[in-house]
A and B are shown apart, each in its own frame.
Chain A
Amino acid sequence: MMEFDLQRYLLTMIVLSPLLGILALLLTPRHRAGTVKLIGIVAAFIPLLLSLVMYVQFDLNQEEMQFIQQMEWINIPIPLSTGVGYLPIAYEVGVDGLSMPLVLLASLIAFLGAIASNTVSKRWKEFYIIYLVMEIGLLGVFMSLNLFLFFIFFELALIPMFFLIAIWGFMDREKAAIKFLIYNGVGSGIMLISFILLFIITMTLNIQEIASQFTDPLSQLNASDQYTFVTENMRMGLFIALLIAFGIKMPIVPFHTWMLKSYQESPFAMIMISSGIMIKMGAYGIIRLGVGFFPQWALDLAPMLALLGLINLLYGAVLALVQKDLKMVLAYSSVSHMGIVLLGIAAMNEVGFQGAIFQMVSHGLIAALLIYMIAVIYERTQTTTLRELGGLAGQMPFISGIFLAASLASLGLPGMSGFISEFQSFLGLFNSLPVYAAIGTLGIILTAVYMLRATLQTTFGPKQERFHDVVDARPIEVVPMAVLLALVILIGIHPAVLSDVVRATLQNLVPGIGG
């Protein structure tokens, strides 16, 4: 009897499973809103289920990539002086301790985002089809083992997002979408150029192959007497190019302003996706490609990374403090929290990297939860302006309680995931760059100041007449809240669920320790 090789096909099944939903949606009549939405949600549930299988099957002691599937895909003809050559591009996917949690996070956020999208009030069919296309991209980015595939999936996530904002957003949605597109377009452009250069230099697209060529002292690229030798300036240029390309996505100040507009105008579910998982693609790219290819430059430029991290952390926090709109508080808070990821990376040690990975996952969960809570509040009050909100805890104690819990998680309360991530990032950074770390701890105070200001302004205070008949959470709304909060608390009190996964891979990621 033939045994189905789950190990081999699992990732492909995960990344392609949204196609099932797309197919089903194409066959569904557009006027049946309920059915369309249900299909969309169920379709987004399948990748999550499969990702959970991946989590369970994941070998904790394996340092290298797992669930690898490689196959010939396309051959691109290239004119050469000797005739026509073929450039084979392979389809190759796999995950390790860095990418596996992010695939899981992507499938989870995409599922919850699909639930949150059930309030979409027009063109449901198109919405969910585009949404599921985007999900393919989100899932694929983290499992790509070569640059070509990585780029394709990256764009497959970004372009649908443009349409989702442009068509289903708020008043000024088109402007926001264009801004999103221009920024991310520039980022993608720089990324594409870098990838092409990397390919020309190494003659391969395989990420691990490129990394080992750059880092192996015996490789041709490091032989100074060969024509293949790559100068340090070139390496630095490429490292910085990758940093900018992914820095726009992450976002690193000053490339963050696209995010503000898209926070204001996007549908809430899209903000969930954007800050829950999409901006992690940037951080992932910096770790996997930037640090992975050029570890020495990452080490040398660590103080610069730390400085960028500090700017993100403190600049975002100070700005979050004066915002008049809940969504904008969240936008700047995301900028601030991604600063902690940068600080963890800048530590350039295992502790810091573990902190950065924890922070990516943790912020993904917490940001998604916070935005969902704002969505729920907006649906009832029709406003996200702080001045107009207040006293909601009286009418909706459950929603207010979860919202408060989410902001406590965001400000790093122990017992929740935010603390563990922050703590590890700072622990790492204090070992390598203590002065930067000490300055960064100011962020811990500022985060509390702006989070509490926003939250207490919304739910505490005198009861307001006009919110007299708002209702508390409905059962369907409880699902995303409960799932996200439970995971935030799970990681907070039992961090081993994540640290065990990361452990074996960690030394491969950190410059100067592994390969």
Chain B
Amino acid sequence: MEQMLENAWLIPLFPLIAFIVLVAIGKQLKQGAAYIGILATLASFVLSLFTFFERFRDGAETYFQPVEWFSIAGFDVIMGYEITQLNAMMLVIVSLVSLLVHIYSRGYMDQDERLPVFYQYLALFTFSMLGLVISPNLLQLYIFWELVGVCSFLLVGFYFYKPEARAAAKKAFIVTRIGDVGLFIAIILLFWWTGSFAYNDIFNAVENGNLESWQITLAAILIFIGAMGKSGQFPLHTWLPDAMEGPTPVSALIHAATMVAAGVYLVAATFDLFTASETALTVVAYVGGFTAIFAASIGLTQTDIKRILAYSTVSQLGYMMLALGAAAAVGYAASTFHLMTHAFFKALLFLAAGSVIHAVHTQDIFKMGGLWKEMKVTAWLFLIGCLAIAGIPPFSGFWSKEEILLAVYHAERFDLFWIAVITAFFTAFYMFRLFFVTFTGETKLQQKAHESPIVMTGPMMILGVLAVISGFINTPWNPVLSEWLTEGMEGSLHVEAPVWITVVAVIVSLAGIGLAWMMYGKGSLAQNWFSARVPLLYQLSYRKYYIDEIYDSVFVRPLNGLGKIVYLFDIYVVDGLVQLTARITGAIGQLGARMQNGQIQTYGVVTMIGLVLLIVGMAVAGGYFQ
């Protein structure tokens, strides 16, 4: 019984149809356009769910359906779709979060007259993301990879009249494209080395030893560069916080739950390649680890609610990369598990943040305060999200973060393990700093905030439930998900890790929350306690380590300067020489054609000169008529 898998191509088709319909008649539908998108994603979600169950419960085989696309010089490029365990899980995550965001946006974007355009982009994104997930080969993945990128670009720049949005959209596209080029090269190299774009052929080539180890390492690292761009890993992380210029539901869907996780997904999907190269795995682990702690340390001092969440996303994606790189099959399971729980609680946090912004029309948390009384539902749900991300049992983040810590410790990457622990402390602190500043204390708002309508809080509640319970699918005593995801993979899932790790992890998180409470809740510790004592560190964190400024002066300005210099060269030297030639020609032309005028004569003269030059040239070359 594989009907669902055979028909899995329908999953991305619904949003595509919605996109086409909305392009055609969206404008006429006005705010009703939302329902087209909602219906389509609902259909995708239901199908994804059935597909997932068919794989999960009935243990259906990986399904692959090839279609010929076009031929490159005799080689037939194949398109198609494939449902593996990982894909099946991703399908559910993407279509579910997308559905909830579609519903939520009906309320959030209600006042916007460009709502139909918004839903067009959302539908195109959903189509592309689902297409990305079911791609059976790297070329097809790359196509959807770029399409999700362009949707992200379009949605970041949705408020096109805002200069900040314009700059952010451009940055998002260009910075991720730098990574994309790595992936682009990897795809081409792997094609020439293995004769195929398909994952399976590439894995077989690796397994059969058809590739040299340097080739494997190079290809894996290039793929990872692509993943770094999409998943905002250092040093390509700078676009993601700026991408918060987009409407908040977009931040939830694209820049938290799904697209930015595509980098993690990519590494996971090509994991057989990575495991064949110790070097590549180490790179992944350290880049991930560094990004995790680096972004978390920036999150400590930010004041914009969305940017704090954005840095937290960067940091959590680093966590996933860290696990992938550090701990083989166990890390793979832990990482993809965390990808799932993170999708739910981070989408929740963003939607709740959106609910707050919707109510108070500012993003500066220090202009809010005391929202607990006015927005009970949002506040509770936000708290659940915070508890989940901080890793407090029994919330979902606890289980997945725990898995990662255990896996990294088990792999004896102790340096990375402690980085992860410190990051967990930072995470708990900045999330609860955000929570206390926003929801407790005295309000600094002029007018009263109102709770958002049910169309917005409804989706948040569903995510809230998932943020609480989704961890139970993979508990240490019954790791259903891990076992299923790593079916057929090498390496044992059985991890003997000391109990103290769990204890330490929880204590560290509680300490972070406690510190945040003392500084921002109860106020027993001055808010500037740290900033006054280590102003330099505070400035570094607040200014995001000046990375943007560094890039500006190392890349952007020199490139512009180079362009200007080269332009002068082009005008004065290249064209100047030509002008000179032309002038000499013209002088000769006037000599030769004194009685005639008009340009056609010049033309003839130039032709003659060309002739002479050519003959001289060939005489010099020595080849003239033997």
Contacts and interface: CB of A to CB of B under 8 A. Distances in A.
Contact of A503 (B71, B160, B559, B562): B71
Interface in B600-626: 600, 602-604, 606-611, 613-615, 617-618, 621-626
Given A237-B617, A237-B621, A427-B188, A354 B602 contact: no
Nearest to B139: A423
A229 B610 CA distance: 26
Contacts of B192: 430-431
Interface in B57-90: 69-75
Nearest to B144: A414
B394 to A, nearest CB: 43
B454 to A, nearest CB: 32
Interface string A256-274: 1110100000000000000
Given A181-B602, A414-B142, A503-B74, A321 B559 contact: yes
Contacts of A177: 599
Contacts of A227: 626
Nearest to B559: A321
Contact of B608 (A159, A189, A323, A423): A189
A301 interface: no
A424 interface: yes
Interface in A166-187: 166, 177-179, 181-183, 185-187
Question: Chain B, interface size: which category?
Answer: 35 or more
A107 to B, nearest CB: 24
B186 to A, nearest CB: 11
B610 A235 contact: no
Contacts of A288: none
B161 A234 contact: no
Contacts of A237: 617-618, 621, 623-624
A236 interface: yes
A319 B567 contact: yes
B373 interface: no
Interface string A440-465: 01101100110011001001111100
Interface stretch (A26-34, A70-78, A120-128, A493-501): A493-501
Given A234-B618, A322-B560, A461-B166, A257 B609 contact: no
Contacts of A408: 150
Contact of A233 (B577, B604, B623): B623
Interface of B is mostly: helix
Contact of B157 (A188, A415, A431, A456): A456
A192 interface: yes
B146 interface: yes
A188 B609 CA distance: 11
26 contacts: A182-B582, A182-B602, A186-B606, A188-B610, A189-B609, A190-B611, A190-B614, A232-B623, A257-B575, A319-B566, A351-B73, A353-B73, A413-B147, A414-B143, A423-B188, A427-B72, A441-B181, A444-B177, A452-B170, A460-B166, A462-B162, A495-B69, A495-B70, A496-B70, A496-B71, A499-B71
A426 interface: yes
Contact of A426 (B142, B150, B161, B184): B184
B563 A322 contact: yes
Nearest to A429: B188
Nearest to B75: A351
Contacts of A349: 73
B564 interface: yes
A441 B184 contact: yes
A423 B138 CA distance: 13
A234 B147 CA distance: 50
Given A181-B602, A231-B622, 16 more contacts: A182-B585, A188-B607, A189-B607, A193-B610, A237-B621, A350-B73, A413-B147, A414-B142, A423-B188, A430-B188, A431-B192, A444-B180, A444-B181, A449-B559, A452-B170, A452-B174
Contact of A461 (B142, B160, B188, B562): B160
Contact of B603 (A181, A232, A431, A437): A181
Given A193-B614, A445-B178, A496-B71, A394 B191 contact: no
Contacts of B184: 423, 426, 441, 444
B173 interface: yes
A9 to B, nearest CB: 32
Interface of A is mostly: helix
A481 to B, nearest CB: 14
B163 A424 contact: no
Contacts of B181: 441-442, 444-445
Given A182-B585, A413-B150, A448 B563 contact: no
B467 to A, nearest CB: 34
Interface centre among A190, A232, A258 (most CB of B within 10 A): A190
Contact of B574 (A187, A257, A318): A257
Contacts of B606: 182, 185-186, 189
The 5 closest A-B pairs by CB, nearest first: A189-B610, A234-B623, A350-B73, A189-B607, A233-B623
B480 interface: no
Interface in B244-270: none
Contacts of B570: 257, 315, 319
A44 interface: no
A91 to B, nearest CB: 24
B144 to A, nearest CB: 8
